[in-house]
Structure 1
Amino acid sequence: MAKKRVAVFASGSGSNFEAVVSASVRDAASPYEVALLVCDKPGAGAIERAERLGVPVYAVRPKSYASREAYEADVVRELRERGIDFIVLAGYMRLVTSVLLDAFENRILNIHPSLLPAFPGLHAVEQALAYGAKVAGVTVHFVDGGMDSGAIIAQEALAVLPDDTADTLYPRVQVIEHRLYPAVVRAFAEDRVRLDGRRVVVEGGLGL
């Protein structure tokens, strides 16, 4: 069976992008391959990682387009030309519009460093610490038109220690991210992720 072709969207350093790529490269039986990095910030660290990993890059400047919709229409054309099956957002710092959502309906995943619906949006780890949360975590979810509001696929929690700061907590969150996200991407590529309204079932589990 042909591997599913994945496009990863990233705006920053690209550590989750690399985790998803590396998981597929390590496993000859991987059901997916990362066929493209889409980066909306030319010069971002994710581009350097992609070049090192041999992943093609589509770097664009959204501000050069008349609207968000025009920008996404151009991206969709590129994805279709490259035969992309589904999209993985990995630190992509833009809300997507109906242009992308309609073109890849229920085929866009995202990862967020909190136990959603708590602490959506930017600086989730800092939000959790400021709120005095005793538990932090990671959520992988489908993308919809809202801010981190799509149906939840998988979550994993970890304890917030009394002396934690963002500098100590976030690296522990990333350890979970780099393990959980590739597992969800694999399950999705194997057509084992079932969406029914807000309820998501991963048939056979994630094997973690």
Structure 2
Amino acid sequence: MKNIVVLVSGGGTNLQALIDAQERGEIKGGKISCVISSKEGAYALERAAKAGIPSVVLPRKEYADKKAYSQAILEELDRQKADLVVLAGFMIILDEVVTKAYPYKIINVHPALIPSFCGEGYYGLKVHEKALEYGVKISGATIHFVNEEADAGAIILQGAVDIANDETPETLQKKIMENVEWKLLPKAVSLFCEDRITIRDGKAYVD
């Protein structure tokens, strides 16, 4: 049984999707063993407590820089014996000290179809604002492995939604979360825990 450690910063809606999937028996071969929050008082911590999942708070503001914070995260991941790390609304880009220690073991969800609308500065509603500004007809979410470059790791799963003529960044965000993120993130986590993801030439293939 693989240990899944989920990193959060805020409300934890993607964490809730994982918890719900776990309770329905949809995550095979792994369990959420710990939640780590970058902020005290994040609502995600309440979600973890309600589900009986242990949590740790490592406030970003208590560390001098990204490297020091990433080192603290790495030490906690090692302490938790993490087999898989899931970034679920974790608003901090980690230093390569973490990504190099956990290659192809860190999964992130990005609210667009990578390589569109991704990279540094593309997060939250900004992603949906840019998609609508561009006038794309579909958008969606990408579940991918995390490497040293923002949103550039191997893609595991993608899903799309149609964009309505009267779409707003807020309605698009909700549509993508409900129809793509909350479904595909638990699926990707289960695939990893079942050893059904193979890496070849830097690309992820699902068996």
TM-score by length of 1: 0.91
Bigger RCO (CA 8 Å, 6+ sep):
2
Q: Could you say what secondary structure the match of 2:157 adopts?
A: strand
Shift in Å, 1:29: 7.2
Separation of aligned partners in 1, 2:9 and 2:39: 6
Q: What percent of counterpart residues are identical?
A: 35
Determine if contact 1:95/1:145 at 8 Å carries over to the other structure.
no
Shift in Å, 1:155: 0.6
Structure 2, unaligned stretches of length 5 or more? none
Corresponding residue for 1:73?
Answer: 71
Separation of aligned partners in 2, 1:58 and 1:52: 15
Separation of aligned partners in 2, 1:173 and 1:36: 26
Equivalent of 2:106 in 96, 105, 108: 108
Separation of aligned partners in 1, 2:139 and 2:159: 9
The one-letter code matched in structure 2 to 1:183 is: K
Equivalent of 1:189 in 182, 193, 197: 193
The one-letter code matched in structure 1 to 2:149 is: G
Separation of aligned partners in 1, 2:64 and 2:26: 43
Moved more, 128-137 or 69-78: 69-78
Shift in Å, 1:144: 0.9
Separation of aligned partners in 2, 1:68 and 1:146: 15
Q: Could you say what secondary structure the match of 2:149 adopts?
A: coil
Determine if contact 2:27/2:187 at 8 Å carries over to the other structure.
no
Structure 1, unaligned stretches of length 5 or more? 204-208
Q: Which runs of 4+ in 1 moved over 6 A?
A: none
Q: CA RMSD in A?
A: 1.5
Separation of aligned partners in 2, 1:92 and 1:81: 19
Shift in Å, 1:40: 0.5
Shift in Å, 1:162: 0.5
Shift in Å, 1:66: 2.6
Moved more, 105-114 or 56-65: 56-65
Corresponding residue for 2:146?
Answer: 143
Corresponding residue for 1:174?
Answer: 177
Determine if contact 1:21/1:33 at 8 Å carries over to the other structure.
no
Corresponding residue for 1:51?
Answer: 49
The one-letter code matched in structure 2 to 1:64 is: E
Separation of aligned partners in 2, 1:73 and 1:169: 35
The one-letter code matched in structure 2 to 1:110 is: N
Shift in Å, 1:127: 1.4
Shift in Å, 1:28: 8.0
- Superposed, 1:4-43 pairs within 5 Å as 4-27=2-25, 30-43=28-41
Q: Could you say what secondary structure the match of 2:107 adopts?
A: strand
